A and B are shown apart, each in its own frame.
Chain A
Amino acid sequence: MAKIISVHSFRGGTGKSNVTANLAVIIAKLGHRVAIVDTDIQSPGVHVLFQLDPKRARYTLNDYLWGLARIEQAAYDVTETVIADPDGSSARLFVVPSSVDSGAIGRILNEGYDVGLLNDGFQELIRDLRLDYLFIDTHPGVNEETLLSIAVSDVLLLVMRPDNQDFQGTAVTAELARRLNVKEMLMIVNKVPGGMDRQALREKVTQLYEAEVAGVLPFNEEIVNVASSAIFSNRYSEHPFTRGLLAIADRLKA
């Protein structure tokens, strides 16, 4: 049985896509078959981290939702881009991008689509690519894709920054997730400033959302150097941020 992991944050800018991409790479490197679906149709982004040019990608998630392609046709194997020596390993990483064409984004927002198809697509992807893990990168805030992704997931990762707006917004998502009977909800606090008491923060978040905190990740300046165009944990393998992600990956495999 594949594990479906949705990664969500109530507001933008939490580093959600970055966390998703790094976790997927870390888990794939352990020899697993992993895919990431970018359901952030309004503002796609995860493809950038894998140097995947969705303008050159023949099919995207949008084409699948319009019935123009099977979802596997929109899945791109990025294993060689992010894993140094994949030969002889069973590691595989696929990315299903959303279209960055403004017309395509406009059309899907305007016409909508049968949200059930998204779930059908996840199931087909798991079956046809023989996945061990499926990561779903969602749009910030609450919309249909997000709610569906939460409803279908085995684990929901809620990424937030340590500020009041995130604290309040995340409470909304946590409540919706409980009402959708999500199996497991884990919190990740990201971009935590150096001077902040991380243990106190962990306790506060645990208590506030009555959920396990899977990681408290430091704000890091080095990530700016990577500039959203590479996998951070690949380049800075000993960085505290990377070590935090490794611990979360361990928790996800449990």
Chain B
Amino acid sequence: MSHQTSGNELDALLNKMKSAVSPVRGILRELHEKFLPTLDGKVADYIPELAKADPRWFGISIVTRHGQFVEVGDFRQMFTIQSISKPFVFGLALEDHGRDDVMRRVGVEPTGEAFNAIVLDESSNRPFNPMVNSGAIATADLIKGRDFPERVSRMIAMFGRYCGRQVHLDNTVFMSERLTGHRNRAIGHLMLNFGMVGERIEDSLELYFQQCSIQVNCHDLAVMGATLANGGVNPITGERAIEARYVKDLLSVMLTCGMYDYAGEWAYRVGIPAKSGVGGGIVAVLPGVAGIGIFSPALDPKGNSVRGLKVCEELSTRFGLHAFESTPGAESLLAELQPSSR
């Protein structure tokens, strides 16, 4: 072991201890305790596998751009990433084709429609944005590769870079998604009809069902968020997950379109780029500061985690994390994570 490596490992260990005693841990515990009794909402049940989730599960994780992390509750519980995969695959599509080409296939316009609406922009035939299912299928179709297996492995490898570990699919969820994905197939074929996707749409749908079935926990989500907060470099591994110039593309569609048809109110009230999934996860990004991962599978009627929304809303209010806050508070959150200021 080189001195460099052991130094980094020691730093990581010391950071872990500093995080464990930081005041932010106390705040996360308080939020966890406060919202734990909230039993509103319903676990997604459109496929039987998702309905097996325990509505009591609840974890919160914050990872800073320096790689410090604070986490409470069921932060190790695995679940499927679902729609949270969408902005990240959008990022890979941007790297593969550049902004202009991607924009010809999918817009960046928020839609008031539900995430699974079968609607395209009438003037351009494009899906409105990459966060609704139609747009996500169109972006999945853009992922390059010599053949289908290579496209899939590039997508999986990308999530591995964001998470800082090898990621795996939940096969049962994947099989259920593809067996019951009639609506998504219909969306794919509608786009095929308009020439917005190519003949490989069947493969692309498979790719889309696979990306939704990736297993993560709320620590992973926070690391993914922290990677975006850190200009595209995973702060734990130091590996680049996405070209720096595209980070803002992801964050702006997350801010405007990330929370299904609650996106407008979200941008207004909370003002943090975020993406939710029907597995119960939410990833939120405080640019230049930290990533937040929350997991609680009980969803509101729009498909967002009930407790996840509450935690984000309270963190945003308490620390002044809204993107357009007159006195930005994200730095104060970072300061609270650094016990050196004690």
Contacts and interface: CB of A to CB of B under 8 A. Distances in A.
Interface of B: 13-14, 16-21, 25-26, 29, 70-72, 339-340, 342
B17 A151 contact: yes
B25 A115 contact: no
B224 to A, nearest CB: 21
Given A181-B339, A181-B342, A176 B25 contact: no
Interface string A147-186: 1101110000000000000000000000010011101000
Nearest to A145: B17
Given A116-B70, A148-B21, 10 more contacts: A116-B19, A118-B20, A144-B17, A151-B339, A152-B20, A179-B14, A180-B14, A180-B18, A181-B342, A183-B342
Contacts of B17: 115, 144, 147-148, 150-151, 180
Contacts of A181: 18, 339-340, 342
Contacts of A118: 20
Contacts of B72: 116
Q: Most chain-A Cβ atoms within 10 A of its Cβ — which of B20, B70, B71, B342? A: B20
8 tightest A-B contacts by CB? A116-B20, A151-B17, A152-B21, A147-B17, A151-B21, A181-B340, A119-B21, A148-B17
Contacts of A73: none
Contacts, number: 43
| Chain A contact residues, majority secondary structure | helix
B18 A151 contact: yes
Nearest to A117: B20
Nearest to B13: A147
Interface in A89-108: none
Interface of A: 115-116, 118-120, 123, 144, 147-148, 150-152, 176, 179-181, 183
13 contacts: A115-B16, A116-B19, A116-B20, A119-B20, A148-B21, A151-B18, A151-B339, A152-B20, A176-B14, A180-B14, A180-B17, A181-B18, A183-B342
A152 B26 CA distance: 13
A6 to B, nearest CB: 12
B39 to A, nearest CB: 20
A219 B25 CA distance: 43
B26 A123 contact: yes
Nearest to B342: A181
B223 to A, nearest CB: 17
A151 B16 CA distance: 10
A179 B20 CA distance: 15
B59 to A, nearest CB: 11
B278 to A, nearest CB: 28
B149 to A, nearest CB: 37
A120 B17 CA distance: 13
Contacts of A152: 20-21
A148 to B, nearest CB: 5
Contacts of B342: 181, 183
Contacts of B25: 116, 119-120
Given A116-B70, A181-B339, A183-B342, A147 B14 contact: yes
Q: Most chain-A Cβ atoms within 10 A of its Cβ — which of B18, B25, B340? A: B18
Contacts of A150: 17
Nearest to A115: B20
B71 to A, nearest CB: 8
Contacts of B19: 116
